[in-house]
Structure 1
Amino acid sequence: MRLNINKTAVESALIGGAILGGGGGGWLEEGEKMARLALENAFSEILPLDSLDPSSLLLTVSAVGAPSAGHNQLLPEDYLRAVELFLEKSQAKISGLISSEIGGLAIVNGWVQSVFLGIPVVDAPADGRAHPLGLMGSMGLHKIKDYISQQAVVGRTREGKLIETFLVGSIEETARTTRELAAELSGLVAVARHPVEAGYVRDHGAPGAIGQAISLGQLFKEKHQAGLDSQKIVASILDFLGEGNLFTGKVNKYSLWAKEGFDLGLIQIESSSGEYELTFWNEYMTLEKRGERLATFPDLIMTFEAETARPLISAAVKERMEIIILSVPAQRLLLGAGVKDPVLLKKIEAKIDREILKYHRYLI
């Protein structure tokens, strides 16, 4: 089913996207700016994957970097330029644009590029939540022997000078170079990458994830407009997704280190039900209560302002802030192949010094 995009749908998409981002997926404020520009230029619909021929080529578009870099590091034309550069260098015939993930910014990936280049956006993100590694948004392409990745990367120096490059090589090599460029520049780059057939995306991506986010955001808005308190608003998300945990507490300690193009950090929360700990590597990775593991990436872990229920990415949380924490099992999410890869999940363990794989044996 085609998704009709208007101001109301945008509001729902941004809220639902931010929630499913799980602490990452970009700043909601940046998503609002990009969506507004797209609407002003007549962006009006998103196509379902099944409306395309399985052999049609889809191009993944994304922003790569650390959320703490802020939400004013790239201009809308930088995202557009990344797709233009890809088309110029690759000469590929692209039938649709897909987002690498879902998040407050990520859910509108491709919208601006679509209206200016005439390439439709397709509701088939590479992943139905946000994730830290570019390989996690590559839908398992890195497992295909001899697959050659093409990536167009556009960024800006801290002084605002435009930098662009086109990369060809293995997915691992190009992903690493892209992340290094983000770290060296302003902390964030716009990327267009990995042309792949629609049939492959159907089997390895997360078709329908944008529609799910819009439905979730619509529910969130309805509960808010009905005057429910924040706890009940966030609890409605659990009802929508099926199951999970929910608690409210005060942030006692917040630590963040920007390293190698990522945000790495730890949050300690004091609640009436006990002491909790969150770790994050851009997205929230683990949730524990006094050493007992409650949720583990790719489970959805998300934070909200306790007063307003506004979704908070990991970089937006502050000490002494009252927050609501939600977690939902991975089985309840639309996930791409990349976040189910045990080799990639194993990489998280070294970064956050916490076990990941043993909590997701069903994925192996």
Structure 2
Amino acid sequence: MTTVIREHDLEALVVGVTLLGSGGGGDSRAFGRILGRRLGSGELELLDASAVADGYLSPVGVVGATSVLAEKLPSGREFSTAVHAVSRWTGHPVGGLMSVEAGGLNGLSALVAAVDLGLPFVDADLMGRAMPRLDQFSWAVAGRSLTPCALSEPGGQIVVVDNIDPAGLERAVRSFVVHTGGWAVLALAPTPAADATADAVTGSLVRALELGRAHAGLTASAGPTDVADALGGRLLGDGRVDEVARYGGRPHGPGGAFGRGTVCVVDEPSRAVVRIETENEYLLAMVDGEPVVTTPELVCVLDRRTLKPIAVDALRTGDEVLVLALPGPDWWRHGARLSHVGPRAFGLTCDPLLLEAS
């Protein structure tokens, strides 16, 4: 099955990948505009992973501090140089692309790369949402190597990294982007299509498109429960942000600590306090001190008037919001995978709390 993306689908796709970002993943709007200019009156196919059996696929995406993209502008060559570099190193031609991450801007960045390189795009990725670390790629969790890989930064430097484990790669990438402007494009090794998608999350962008279309279909009179139902989630709170606290994190992963924070929302109907623990994404939600849902499920905060998703770093005291929980990718529910993306993987002493499977 193939899903076709046209220019009029992009607004819904931007909203959908933003919801999959669970408050993180970077601002997808810029890549939405770039993709719109690339497509024009044309179209882009999202190929179903089950229908792709031949050729080599390379997962690609942006890594580092995506917030500095507006200051350290892309040259437009980063994806092509990274893909060509890892192809030369391995000796395998890249016959198609997939994304490293479906949430936030990387839900769209790989689509831009596919259009620019003239390559097919397969709807498979290595997270199914946004998460902060490379060792949380599904390939790494499944025991696959993430190297060789190539990094290309906007100043023109290209680095190929090989023979290093996922934790070491996380540290190497963080070190590289810190010294080269804050962000870079990552291209993983060309891998036979069947192997590349076997340990990947599939169908994420189709889901993002469906979420975006459901969001676009909401009317001005839609109540909080209507919004949650339309998006296939659960309403956790409807009220005003009472407090936003941001502070330094504790080391809990191979890349070191990210900034941590807490958001408190007072639910107007019940006066219950909805507390959200945050890092790059919303990680855990509690109601009156009782944990109710955690990563890898998606905690999303929406502006109560516009219903637009609000990122972790954009949330402010006084904002009127809806707090929703949406089901996360099913891939993470199986076996020992959950321990890599559950709350304890982020230093939170709480067991995973998942929504009921549909």
**Correspondence for 1:248 among 224, 238, 263:** 238
3-state SS of paired residue (1:122): strand
Name the residue aligned to 1:216.
Answer: 211
Matches within 5 A, 1:30-69: 30-40=30-40, 42-53=42-53, 56-66=55-65, 68-69=67-68
Give the C-alpha shift of residue 356 in structure 1: 4.0
Matched, 1:354 2:348: yes
User: Per the alignment, do residues 47 and 350 of structure 1 end up closer, same or farther by CA in structure 2, a change over 3 Å counting?
Assistant: closer
3-state SS of paired residue (1:301): strand
Matches within 5 A, 1:71-86: 71-75=70-74, 76-86=76-86
3-state SS of paired residue (2:59): strand
| Distance (whole Å) between structure 2 residues aligned to residue 47 and residue 291 of structure 1 | 44
Name the residue aligned to 2:253.
Answer: none
**Correspondence for 1:176 among 163, 171, 184:** 171
**Correspondence for 1:320 among 304, 318, 321:** 318
Name the residue aligned to 1:234.
Answer: 227
Unaligned runs of 5+ in 1: none
Contact 2:302-2:322 at 8 Å conserved across structures: yes
| Distance (whole Å) between structure 1 residues aligned to residue 285 and residue 169 of structure 2 | 31
**Correspondence for 2:159 among 155, 161, 165:** 165
| Distance (whole Å) between structure 2 residues aligned to residue 230 and residue 63 of structure 1 | 36
3-state SS of paired residue (2:317): coil
| Distance (whole Å) between structure 2 residues aligned to residue 183 and residue 337 of structure 1 | 34
User: Per the alignment, do residues 229 and 250 of structure 1 end up closer, same or farther by CA in structure 2, a change over 3 Å counting?
Assistant: same
User: Per the alignment, do residues 322 and 79 of structure 1 end up closer, same or farther by CA in structure 2, a change over 3 Å counting?
Assistant: farther
Contact 1:58-1:96 at 8 Å conserved across structures: yes
Amino acid at match of 2:186: V
| Distance (whole Å) between structure 2 residues aligned to residue 98 and residue 133 of structure 1 | 18
Q: Which structure's relative contact order is higher, taking Cα pairs within 8 Å and 6+ residues apart?
A: 1
Contact 1:125-1:210 at 8 Å conserved across structures: no
Unaligned runs of 5+ in 2: 250-255
Q: Across the two proteins, how many residue pairs are aligned to each other? A: 346
Amino acid at match of 1:324: L
Give the C-alpha shift of residue 27 in structure 1: 0.5
3-state SS of paired residue (1:139): helix
Give the C-alpha shift of residue 234 in structure 1: 2.7
| Distance (whole Å) between structure 2 residues aligned to residue 235 and residue 127 of structure 1 | 23
| Distance (whole Å) between structure 1 residues aligned to residue 301 and residue 162 of structure 2 | 38
3-state SS of paired residue (1:341): helix
Matches within 5 A, 1:283-298: 283-298=281-296
3-state SS of paired residue (1:38): helix
3-state SS of paired residue (1:93): coil
Give deviations 1:148-183, integer Å, cap 9, x for gaps: 611211235xxxx44331111223322321123234
| Distance (whole Å) between structure 1 residues aligned to residue 45 and residue 89 of structure 2 | 28
The answer to which of 176-185 and 269-278 deviates more is: 176-185
Matched, 1:204 2:203: no
Amino acid at match of 1:319: T
Contact 1:298-1:339 at 8 Å conserved across structures: no
| Distance (whole Å) between structure 2 residues aligned to residue 41 and residue 164 of structure 1 | 33
User: Per the alignment, do residues 210 and 18 of structure 1 end up closer, same or farther by CA in structure 2, a change over 3 Å counting?
Assistant: same
TM-score if structure 1 supplies the norm length? 0.83
Name the residue aligned to 1:267.
Answer: 263
Give the C-alpha shift of residue 98 in structure 1: 0.8
| Distance (whole Å) between structure 2 residues aligned to residue 261 and residue 107 of structure 1 | 24
- Cα RMSD (Å): 3.0
Q: Percent identity?
A: 22
Give the C-alpha shift of residue 344 in structure 1: 2.3
Name the residue aligned to 1:309.
Answer: 307
The answer to which of 41-50 and 304-313 deviates more is: 41-50
Contact 1:136-1:338 at 8 Å conserved across structures: no
Name the residue aligned to 1:7.
Answer: 7
| Distance (whole Å) between structure 2 residues aligned to residue 167 and residue 204 of structure 1 | 21
Matched, 1:110 2:110: yes
Amino acid at match of 1:204: D
User: Per the alignment, do residues 150 and 117 of structure 1 end up closer, same or farther by CA in structure 2, a change over 3 Å counting?
Assistant: same
Name the one with the larger helix percent: 1
The answer to which of 180-189 and 163-172 deviates more is: 180-189
Name the residue aligned to 1:131.
Answer: 131
TM-score if structure 2 supplies the norm length? 0.84
Contact 1:63-1:191 at 8 Å conserved across structures: yes
Contact 1:49-1:122 at 8 Å conserved across structures: yes
Amino acid at match of 2:341: L
